[in-house]
Amino acid sequence: MIGKDVAGIIYSSNYDNYLTELTAVRTMGSVPFGGRYRLVDFVLSSMVDFGVSKVAVAMCNNYRSLMDHIGNGRPWDLARKREGLFMLPPYNFSGVGAYGSKMSMLRGAEDFLNHTKEEYILVTDCNVVCNLDIEKLAAFHAENGADITLAYAKGKLPQLPDTAVLKLGDDASVTEMEISPKDTEEGAFAVNIMLLKKSLLLRLIHEASAHGWKDFDRDILMRNPGSLKICGYEVPGFCRVIDSLQSYYDISISLLDKAARDALFCEERPVLTRVRDDMPTVYGIGSSVKNSLIADGCVIDGTVENSVLSRGVRVEKGAVVKNCVLMQETFISSGATANCVITDKNVVLRPGKTLSGAENYPLFISKGKVI
Amino acid sequence: MARKKECIAMLLAGGQGSRLGILTHNIAKPAVPFGGKYRIIDFPLSNCVNSGIDTVGVLTQYQPLELNDYIGNGQPWDLDRADGGVHVLSPYQQIKGTEWYKGTANAIYQNINFIDRYSPEYVAILSGDHIYKMDYAKMLDFHKKNDAACTIAMLEVPWDEASRFGLMFTDPDGRITAFEEKPKNPKSNKASMGVYIFTWSKLRKYLIADEEDPSSSNDFGKNVIPAMHTAGERLYAYPFDGYWKDVGTIDSLWEANLDMLNPKANLDLGDKTWRIYAKNTAQPPQYIADTAKVENSMVSAGCEIGGEVDYSVLFSNVTIEEGATVKYSIVMPGAVVKSGAVVQYAMLAENVTVESGAYIGECPEKTENLDAWGVAVIGGGVTVGKNAKVAPKIMCDNDVAEGESV
């Protein structure tokens, strides 16, 4: 299997309800992350790196910012005459309302699938932060003769209502699957990256439709009505699932660790994103910056420690920013102090104001607020 | 047939820029990196698109590979147009024989066909080696208002520098009365910026006449404009008072880069109403470590800084290890400065490696003979070995061995 045998479907709206603060004005795929990215960039770049040239992005609510971000797909080289990028906003034909679940999203994508000549489909969500090497996933799928390959990570289970916990046999096949078991805290959990043949996916969608099945994981994967060979592929390296504002904060701050950055921003698979044409970041006289990840276009005259700053952030003289995640165009005025704060875009902290959260309870300031 | 355009631009980007030495061994001067993430040509190209000029011919001749590749289809500058857009124009074979571009005027002469396709009223002739922000639309208004045949952008320079420029004398209305080319004792400080707007029908005539004159060196400044002046055409000087710098020498390139750090320099790269566009690379944000001390500097995406950086411009993907010091320097993409190395008053070209303990350049204050002082330049891909020393003003195009002094 090579890139041109695979088409991608990225579903952006699956977990918006679990990151309500950040998805108040956008969908999961366009949640800013890591200084200059949006969450959709990671999986989209992985697909493009593998050579996938046909990708559908399905979305349900608040998708204006996502459409704005992706545009015609040029940053990912998906602005094509042949194949390229397809946007799948909800399509209200009879029987399929606005997408409420992965199943209805897939039913909405049926037309896209029917017109796709690629043999395989990679279906993913947007709330996973990893730099997936799809070549390895594809090789694993072929070696194991799998019908369906589910990517998984090990560790503390994401606190989502549909976390699929996998038990794996010696041959990497999934022997048992539980959905968000109450009494388990750690384990191997699926990260909503699934590779399978297009023909199989269409068959499963039709079968689900015929039986009135509503939940892809529970009704299809767990029941496994056709005795399919479902295999689990462990994503190597950095792979984290965003399930809450706290985890968003923790994962953002973990980028200050070199190993995490090296895994996520490896040279072989660059993460591509929309260009903003900012100037380089300017550090003024008397600025003090320690252990921080800083995007282009910032102007820093104050103090910044242990923080992640997005493009165009201003930190004035005498301002102090510690343990913060500041999104685009946040303005921290002179004499203001922020500690353990997440600011959405265009937040202004006026002179002398102090904001403080805690590392296990970061304070969130919503888009455009002036404090 | 292309649609008629009121004004198109021709950008002269064919020069070697020999005074930039090893920095232009493999690339044309307009492709030289500048200001942390840009290349010199981004400035005139962005000025064009910001001024509403959507058709630009870029004349290339010397080492065009990287420049052509960089310009591509013009998308980064929004110049990928169905009608117009950016066109790279190289010398080509003709039935009467093949010629390189013999001079600036000849380069335009050889592309009369290109310009005629758009039947423009006016043509802006621009240089690919100047750093400035300028609204050509305002200059065009000035040109039209004066019913000029040619308008030359003019900057009042300090008197002690005037002798380096082509100078102009004007009457109170701005009409040019006389020229003086790099005089020893300047009587004017009104310098030509090398930015021209011509009425195309006039320029076309003078270009053809100039080409027929075998004694001409086919240069705008030396031949075409003086010929227009002698013939009594209306030539005007358009006063400009923003930041402008010809970055044709190592010193001026170094200075202009550091000018970007000076708010008083009057060239704001952060101004969103007049953005300078560039082809962006996919680099993660920069990381500033606990051990770093970064002040008064410009740093680009992908950099990892563990050392001390002061008054410097760092391009993308530069690594400054813990314990290294970089001061008053320009560090181009991909360069690595290892721990204990000291780089000051220097320019490191792309992918230079400075091994630990190496010492490059020197502060002018610590130099006894100021005439021997200058910016040290390390060429692309060069490795400066452990504890090696590179003296000021040296241009280093070969690896420097461990412990060696050059």
- Judge: B294–A297 Cβ closer than 8 Å, yes or no: no
Residues of A in contact with B287 (CB under 8 A): 256, 258, 261, 292-294
Encoded amino acid at A145, one letter: G
User: Mean pLDDT in chain A?
Assistant: 91
The alpha-helical segments, DSSP class H, found in B99-243 are 104-109, 112-117, 136-145, 200-212, 225-230
Confidence of residue A99 (pLDDT cuts 50, 70, 90): low
The string of pLDDT tens digits covering residues A322-333 is 999 999 999 999
- Residue A101 confidence (pLDDT): 78
Angle between helices A39-50 and A134-143 (to 10 degrees): 60
Q: What is the pTM of this model?
A: 0.91
pLDDT in tens, A28-46: 999 999 999 999 999 999 9
Point out which residues pair with A193 in neighbouring strands.
Answer: A124
- For residues A216 and A102, the answer to whether their CB atoms sit within 8 Å is yes
B198-255 pLDDT per residue, tens? 999 999 999 999 999 999 999 998 899 999 999 999 999 999 999 999 998 999 999 9
Cα distance between residue A362 and residue A279, in whole Å: 30
Predicted local distance difference test score (pLDDT) of residue A91: 63
Task: Give pLDDT tens digits for A146-172.
Answer: 999 999 999 999 988 888 999 998 889
- In sequence order, the β-bridge partners of residue A282 are A299, B298
Q: Which residues from chain A sit within 8 angstroms of residue B273, using beta carbons?
A: none
Chain B positions touching A35 (Cβ under 8 A) are 284-285
A261/B284 Cβ within 8 A: yes
- Output the pLDDT for position A77: 92
DSSP A259-299: HHHHHHT-TTSPPP-----PPPEEE-TT-EEESEEE-TT-E
Q: According to the model, what pLDDT value does residue A98 have?
A: 53
Pick from A289, A306, A307, A313 the residue to mutate for testing the B interface (most B CBs within 10 Å).
Answer: A289
Would the CB atoms of A281 and B299 count as touching at under 8 Å? yes
Name residues whose C-beta falls within 8 Å of residue A298's C-beta, 6 or more positions apart in sequence.
Answer: A281, A282, A309, A311, A312, A313, A314, A315
Question: Which among B311, B293, B315 is positioned nearest to B302, based on CA atoms?
Answer: B315
For residues A95 and B5, give the distance between their C-alpha atoms in angstroms, rounded to a whole number: 53
Per DSSP (E only), the strands in B290-361 are 293-295, 297-299, 304-305, 308-310, 313-314, 319-320, 325-331, 336-337, 342-348, 353-354, 359-360
Torsions phi, psi for A3 (to 5 deg): -55, -40
Q: How many CB atoms lie within 10 A of CB A198?
A: 18
Closest-CA residue of A relative to B309 is A283
Q: Which residue has the higher pLDDT, B99 or A279?
A: A279
- pLDDT confidence of residue A94: 46
- B286 and A281 within 8 Å at the Cβ level: the answer is yes
Cα–Cα distance, B316 to B134 (Å, whole number): 26
Which residues of B lie inside 8 Å of A (Cβ-Cβ)? 35-37, 75-76, 261, 269-270, 275-278, 280, 282-290, 292-301, 309, 313-314
Nearest Cα of chain B lies from the Cα of A144 at a distance, in angstroms, of 34
Which ranges of chain B have pLDDT less than 70? 1
Name which residue leads in pLDDT, A298 or A275: A298
CB contact under 8 A, A280 and B288: no
* DSSP string across A166-197: EEE-TTSBEEEEEES-TT--EEEEEEEEEEEE
Report d(CA A310, CA A328) in Å as an integer. Answer: 5
Phi then psi dihedrals of residue B274, to 5 deg = -145, 70
Looking at the partner chain, which of B261, B275, B285 has a beta carbon nearest the beta carbon of A295? B285
Residues A108, A77: contact at Cβ < 8 Å? no
Predicted confidence (pLDDT) per residue in A340-367, tens digit: 999 999 999 999 999 999 999 999 999 9
Structure tokens, A273 = 């994103």
Supply the ipTM of this predicted assembly: 0.90
- In A, minimum Cα distance to B289 occurs at A291
Q: Do B301 and A36 touch (CB under 8 A)?
A: yes
Residue A287's pLDDT band (boundaries 50, 70, 90)? Answer: very high
Other C-beta atoms closer than 10 Å to the C-beta of A29 total 30
Residue A112's pLDDT band, with cuts at 50, 70 and 90, is very high
Please say whether the beta carbons of A130 and A235 come within 8 A: yes
Do the Cβ atoms of B206 and B93 come closer than 8 Å? no
